[in-house]
Amino acid sequence: MARAAARQVTGAPTPDDAARTIPADADARREIRNWYAHLMGERRVSEATLINYHRDLTRFFEFLVGHLGAPADLKALAGLELRDFRAFVSHRRADGLTSRSVARMLSSLRSFFGFLDRTGIVANATLKALRSPKLPHGIPKPLTVTGTATLLEGARAAEIAPWKAARDVAVLTLLYGCGLRISEALGLARKDAPLKEVLRITGKGGKERLVPVLPAARQAVETYLALCPHALTPEDPLFVGTRGGRLDQRQVRQTMIDLRRGLNLPETASPHALRHSFATHLLAGGGDLRAIQELLGHASLSTTQVYTEVDPARLLEIYDKATRRR
């Protein structure tokens, strides 16, 4: 069976490494590799999702070694019953997993077993009968407009190499000014700059969207490139680390941690919070919910509607305008 070539994803293991580190028999490891390559090549899931899926499947097969008395093979996977999956959930609960983590873990397993079923390798629909835990309704926690400005100014004044400070400002400005996911910003190539007024972004599931780029974001990228000491080719990543390799998500997260502590910003100030801030500030400024959905790349409007709960006053205003038009 032909498999799509997997793209290189910084920080996530390769399909070969992913399969090699999981305790399973040779045939099961082969299918783990094929599934992982499918996630990277055909579904083009994010780096964070790949890492989580690999971690969840590793924990599952580690559990099966003790549960079954030996590394699992394909026959063992086909014979797993509801009580086996429930035992794994209980095992992970005992490790301190939250309901949200358990739900993600089950999603990882459903992806793997669904792949085995679609490719005719293993048919086991047991997981469909196992309900995911109910999750508490979460509301995004954006920064205020003032808090965002403070963050960007703090990044600009950071006591690090000037080119690194300019790089951090450019990355954070793209997250906030364009509503990008961190993987989308760090996935840009040198050939994408100088940035045009509209940026074509490939998001989750390979879905493309067009995102307007503010002059401040274009200028931030230009400032960074003018100071960057590395000679980047068009195919090189736009944002690089000390040695010229692609800037890692963990470095950006650590930068946010350092900034929020130094600037006394809330613990919820993360790279993804800047994307939340983008959406919330647009909505508060009169932005159309459908337009914001397209800018964020949400498949469903219900995903975007959660931002109306961040600013109840704005929601009431939208409702009032809608009723007056009737």
Please indicate whether residue 209 is annotated as part of the active site. Answer: no
Selecting among 167, 275, 276, 281, the annotated active-site residue is 275
Q: What does the pLDDT average to over 7-20?
A: 74
* pLDDT band, residue 137 (cuts 50/70/90): low
Please indicate whether residue 104 is annotated as part of the active site. Answer: no
- Output the CA angle 151-156-161, nearest 5 degrees: 130
pLDDT at 206 over 70: yes
Task: Name the more confident of 11 and 321.
Answer: 11
For 98-135, write each residue's pLDDT tens digit. 888 899 999 999 999 999 999 999 999 999 889 888 76
For 66-107, write each residue's pLDDT tens digit. 999 999 999 999 999 999 999 999 999 999 888 888 999 999
Q: Which of 140-144, 310-314, 318-322 has the lowest mean pLDDT?
A: 318-322
Please indicate whether residue 54 is annotated as part of the active site. Answer: no
- Distance separating alpha carbons of residues 101 and 91, to the nearest angstrom: 13
Please indicate whether residue 181 is annotated as part of the active site. Answer: yes
Considering 5-9, 95-99, 239-243, the range whose residues carry the highest mean pLDDT is 239-243
Contact 29, 19 (CB under 8 A): yes
pLDDT at 305 over 70: yes
Domain 145-324 sits in CATH 1.20.120.1810: no
Q: Which of 5-19, 107-121, 170-184 has the lowest mean pLDDT?
A: 5-19
- Distance separating alpha carbons of residues 107 and 132, to the nearest angstrom: 9
Selecting among 36, 176, 224, 307, the annotated active-site residue is 307
Q: How far is CA 72 from CA 39, 105, 181, 289, in A?
A: 22, 18, 36, 48
Selecting among 33, 181, 260, 276, the annotated active-site residue is 181
Selecting among 204, 209, 253, 314, the annotated active-site residue is 204
For 250-298, write each residue's pLDDT tens digit. 999 999 999 999 999 999 899 999 999 999 888 888 888 888 888 898 8
Please indicate whether residue 176 is annotated as part of the active site. Answer: no
pLDDT at 218 over 50: yes
Q: What does the pLDDT average to over 167-194?
A: 95
Selecting among 91, 141, 272, 314, the annotated active-site residue is 272
pLDDT at 142 over 50: yes
* pLDDT band, residue 155 (cuts 50/70/90): very high
Which residues have C-beta within 8 Å of that of residue 253, sequence separation ≥ 6? 182, 270, 271
> How many CB atoms within 10 Å of residue 115?
19
Task: Name the more confident of 149 and 315.
Answer: 149
* pLDDT band, residue 195 (cuts 50/70/90): very high
Please indicate whether residue 53 is annotated as part of the active site. Answer: no
CATH topology of domain 15-129: DNA polymerase; domain 1 (1.10.150)
Closest by Cα among 54, 56, 44, 55 to 8: 44
Q: What does the pLDDT average to over 301-308?
A: 78
Bridge pairing between strands 198-202 and 208-212: antiparallel
For 14-64, write each residue's pLDDT tens digit. 889 888 999 999 999 999 999 999 998 888 787 778 888 999 999 999 999
Q: What is the pLDDT of residue 8?
A: 45
Q: Tokens 């470095």 label which residue? A: 251
Q: What is the pLDDT of residue 33?
A: 95
Q: What is the pLDDT of residue 225?
A: 97
Can you give the residue ranges of every domain in the chain?
A: 15-129, 145-324
Q: What is the pLDDT of residue 319?
A: 46
